[in-house]
Structure 1
Amino acid sequence: MPNLNEDYLEAGTTLASTETAALSDEKPKAEPRPALSMFDAIAVIVGVVVGAGIFRTPSLVAANVESGSLFLLTWVMGGLVSLIGALCYAELTTTFPHAGGDYHFLTRAFGKRLAFLFAWARMSVIQTGSIALLSFIIGDYMSQLYSFGELSSVIYAALVVVLLTVINIVGVSVGTGVQRFLLVLEVLGILIVLGAAFLFTPPETAAFGSAGEPNETSMGLAMVFVLLTFGGWNEAAYISAELKSGPRGMATALIASIAVITLIYLLINLAYLHVLGLEGMAASNAIAADLAQLAIGDAGMVLIGVIVVLAALTSANATILTGARTNYALGRDFPVFNYLGQWNSRASSPVNAYVVQGVIALALIGLALVTRNGFETMVEYTAPVFWFFLLLVGIALFVLRRKEPDRPRPFKVPLYPILPLIFCFTSAYLFYSSLMYTGLGALVGIGVLVVGVLVLLAIPRIRKKQEHAA
């Protein structure tokens, strides 16, 4: 294996120098500027994480634990593991604030070749796959409220991608404004369901009873579902250069967001236990809908559909907002993708990156249409690649501590190196699990990553052709 620290960094440094020289005679490009408040940052992080997953995965978790108390403990553990990851990211984002987020960390740690593969994966698999996945959730629920044929879900999903992309292209203030509005509606909807569950529904006597004898691996599988539901807090890295309160503010935003998310999840799961009991949860295929129907009646089915749509819209908007920023960083560092690296100062956003991201997400919606299983296909497509690169980011923390020991670090991970090691081991376990429990979609996602390797190998030839043409 080549020495990534030396060979890749050298190649990346050469490339960066070439680009700087090429641009020396041009006027300075527009750059990201501090435009986001602390509430904006928290709204983005919470909005990404608290999506439709909490309305789907608790029944799977309940089926793999032996008591209600253990069920709640898994969610507390999920919050703790996420907090450990957030502390690692707090060090990275406060030490190296950049609109490229993970891409920037991987560049500094391993060089631009490996970072290119991450940016490629994020553009074509991770972020766009997540956008398509969330859009399909919205499409599925909207089709239940109003259907106009077999393709209703796909059409709704495509409209969501187009609408949210246009909103964010208009400008960061509009995109974050919509994010705040959606988050408030989502939280109000959750509070309505919680109030109905605790105030108008008698408690289920089996709420903290037994769900049967679990098998040896059931607790581990339960944690896989829990941690998948907590996934997305790392998106904060992509807005670290745009926070008005500076580097220390990002650490506060990350820690506060994880605390809010954990509290929300605990309250929702307490409501599930209160109304359905552990056995009822384990037997449910639509746990939130079952809770709403018991608590409110038939009107609850419509209400929960609206809340799930709001949750997915909140996550989709935040995912679109942060995803385009990696594409922007890719365009700035690799002239072949220069089109992506243009920042629109008037809108304070990477407009071209938004457009490309939207087109790819629409293409993935078309792919899922072929498989006739949109949501599951997108989960399989994104999971292995996502956890692989998150593991590399964890390793990058150790590498950067060694490579740049004198770099000012406004925030340092406490109990180093124990907490970062826990973060790395957790990511490695979820990478393994996502390969073991997924099917064809995972192979397609890995195949797209291999295509990125081929593109990377072809870049020198493309650059030579561009130079000769010039």
Structure 2
Amino acid sequence: MPNLNEEYPSADAALASTKATALAEEKPKSEPRPALSMFDAIAVIVGVVVGAGIFRTPSLVAANVESGTVFLTTWLLGGLVSLIGALCYAELTTTFPHAGGDYHFLTRAFGKRLAFLFAWARMSVIQTGSIALLSFIIGDYMAQFYSFGEFSSVLYAALVIVLLTAINIAGVSFGTGVQRLLIILEVLGILIILVAAFLFTPTETAEAAGNTASGNATSMGLAMVFVLLTFGGWNEAAYISAELKTGRRGMATALVASIAVITLIYLLINLAYLHVLGLEGMASSNAIAADLAQVTIGSAGMILIGIIVVLAALTSVNATILTGARTNYALGRDFSIFSYLGQWNTKASSPVNAYVVQGLVSLALVGLALFTRTGFETMVEYTAPVFWFFLLLVGIALFVLRHKEPDRPRPFKVPLYPITPLIFCFTSAYLFYSSLMYTGMGALVGIGVLAVGVLVLLAIPRIQKQKEPVV
């Protein structure tokens, strides 16, 4: 990673070679040192994955399955798929440790052109779409407290993006103490839901809760898209593999244990939803945790749960804005056509231009809800196909890199190779297919934006040639 205050080198081959040599020489100094205990690793993975999504996506899953048994089974499958994917990422991150993550893997396996498309996708679809959908979670719950009318969720979501982007531009971020407090509140919220569901549910309510779908069209593939969205985060959590004291076997243990804990949490909280609201009640809810609290505790409980969900979502949005802007900044440093994004504001100590562009794209995505009127679902549709496409390519990259660099030391090897990564690739391919076939306009827009990235990629050589000085 270049110094933030230095000017990025040109694309000249000799300079690029010199830079590559310098980076190779610096690498031993910058490699992560083993410093995390097993408990630390499990806590990090669980903390990354368990977010505000569990307070929103279960209603969407319920709307796409036929029975309560199938509903719970989808969450078990989500845990299994996440475990398989995390094991694949563990090999890649321990073999090729690099701050670029997926961008680096794709570059080594397929070259810079495909890696550019991934960076484009993060800037215009994946990261900005995630910011928008997390903001809609906040909007849906805030609308339960105070409504401005039909587009309350849209207005709240836009306000969240503007405020948090402004805070990050000013150089202000949540401290570690605040982050820990928000995590504690989130865990508290889950415990409140479980206690309320199983101890304070009126008997007649539990008996009346339906366990079958309302007769609407269902789709197991789309249900899994929403489930795995909620499990999202393990691909970033795998980066701690190089920092674990217990080494290779410890990483596998940490991954298995953390995914097991996450799956258990999700099963318990979804069992609570199902017990109180029933499948049909879940499917019709836009703020499922608040509805559960309303039934079991009353209006006071609904307000408490709503506040907890909003705090959890704010934490996720802020982190996504922070990391997304720095990815865009790196893209601007690597490709001169995006040099505007690669400018670092030393006074604010932040990539201000990257924040502004990211905020504007996120607001544009929020604007899609004005046409679809289902903001959260539209953002899932928008991001899912592109996300699963590149996740599939990362899975394939594991095979390619084993073939291209067979002699490279691999501190952690995915178990049952090639079966495990094949399952991961087939699962990603199926979810890519499902996110295309069973979604609406949002998916088409996401694919269209990626196609624009292809056109930009093709135009880069011509643009760079025009900028070259005439000798």
Which residue is equivalent to 1:391? 392
Report Cα offsets for 1:12-44 as digits up to 9, x if no partner: xx877544558999xx99x98869977887677
Aligned to 2:101: 101
Code of the aligned partner of 2:408: R
- Deviations, residues 409-433 of structure 1 (Å, cap 9, x unaligned): 2211111111111111111111111
2:75 and 2:227 in contact (8 A); partners too: yes
Q: Is the 8 A contact 2:125 2:449 kept in 1?
A: yes
Give the AA of the match of 2:224. Answer: M
- Any gaps of 5 or more consecutive residues in structure 2? 1-10
Match of 1:412 in 2: 413
- Cα 1:420/1:214, change in 2 over 3 Å: farther
What percent identity do the matched residue pairs reach? 81
- Give the alignment of 1:259-408 within 5 angstroms: 259-278=260-279, 280-281=281-282, 286-341=287-342, 353-369=354-370, 371-408=372-409
Instruction: Look up the SS of the partner of 2:414 in the other structure.
Output: coil
Alpha-carbon separation, structure 2, partners of 1:455 and 1:281: 43
C-alpha contact (below 8 Å) 1:127/1:323 kept by paired residues:
yes
1:190-247, Cα deviation, whole Å (9 max, x unpaired): 111212222222567659996379999855554343223323322336x659969798
Q: Is the 1:197–1:291 contact (alpha carbons within 8 Å) kept by the matching residues of 2? A: yes
Task: Spell out, residue by residue over 1:248-271, the C-alpha distance to the aligned partner (whole angstroms, 9 max, x if none).
Answer: 687676555433321220120121
Match of 1:440 in 2: 441
Q: 1:242 to 1:90 in 2, by over 3 A?
A: closer
Is 1:79 matched with 2:79? Answer: yes
CA contact (8 A) 1:62 1:281 kept: yes
CA distance in 2, matches of 1:240, 1:342: 29
Report what 2:6 is aligned to: none
Q: What is the CA distance between 1:379 and its match in structure 2?
A: 2.1
**Cα distance per residue 1:368-406 (max 9 Å; x no partner):** 445544323322221211111111111111111111112
Specify the code of the residue in structure 1 equivalent to 2:164. Answer: L
1:110-259 mapped onto 2 (5 Å cutoff): 110-147=110-147, 152-166=152-166, 168=168, 174=174, 177-201=177-201, 211=212, 219-236=220-237, 254-259=255-260
- The CA distance in 2 between the partners of 1:67 and 1:130, in whole Å, is 29
Q: Work out the CA distance in 1 between the residues paired with 2:208 and 2:394.
A: 40
Q: Distance in 2 between matches of 1:185 and 1:425?
A: 37
Measure the CA separation in 1 of the matches of 2:157 and 2:214: 40
Which 10-residue stretch deviates more, 32-41 or 348-357? 32-41
Alignment correspondent of 1:421: 422
Residue 233 of structure 1 aligns with an amino acid whose one-letter code is W
Residue in structure 2 matched with residue 57 of structure 1 by the alignment: 57
Give the match's secondary structure for 1:468: coil
**1:175, 1:454 → 2: CA distance?**
41
- 1:66/1:340 CA distance change after superposition, 3 Å: closer
Report the alpha carbon displacement of residue 348 of structure 1 after superposing the two structures with TM. Answer: 8.8
Corresponding residue of 1:458: 459
Contact 1:142 1:153 in 2 (8 A): yes
CA distance in 2: counterparts of 1:360 and 1:283, whole angstroms: 30
The residue identity in structure 2 corresponding to 1:396 is A
Return the offset for 1:114.
0.5
Q: Which structure 1 segments of 5+ residues have no match? A: 1-13
TM-score by length of 2: 0.80
What CA distance in whole angstroms lies between the structure 2 residues aligned with 1:41 and 1:171?
28
- 2:300 partner amino acid: A
2:310 counterpart SS class: helix
Does the 8 Å CA contact 1:64/1:214 hold for their aligned counterparts?
A: no
CA distance in 2, matches of 1:287, 1:130: 20
Cα distance change, pair 357–298 in 1 and its aligned pair in 2 (3 A): same
Q: Is the 8 A contact 1:79 1:230 kept in 2?
A: yes
Q: What per-residue deviation string (whole Å, max 9, x for no partner) do you get for residues 303-348 of structure 1? A: 3322332332233233224333432442343233345456789999
How many residues are treated as equivalent by the alignment? Answer: 454
Code of the aligned partner of 1:223: M
CA distance in structure 1 between the aligned counterparts of 2:49 and 2:319, rounded to whole angstroms: 9
Structure 1 pair 400/102, CA: closer, same or farther in 2 (3 Å)?
Answer: same
TM-score (ref. length: structure 1): 0.80
- In structure 2, distance between residues paired with 1:345 and 1:87: 39
Give the counterpart letter for 2:415 in structure 1: P
Aligned to 1:3: none
> Match of 2:468, SS?
helix
**Aligned match of 1:11:** none
- Give the AA of the match of 1:263: L
Structure 1 CA distance for aligned equivalents of residues 46 and 110 of structure 2: 30
**Matches of 1:24 and 1:422 in 2, distance apart?**
37
Q: 1:59 to 1:139 in 2, by over 3 A?
A: closer
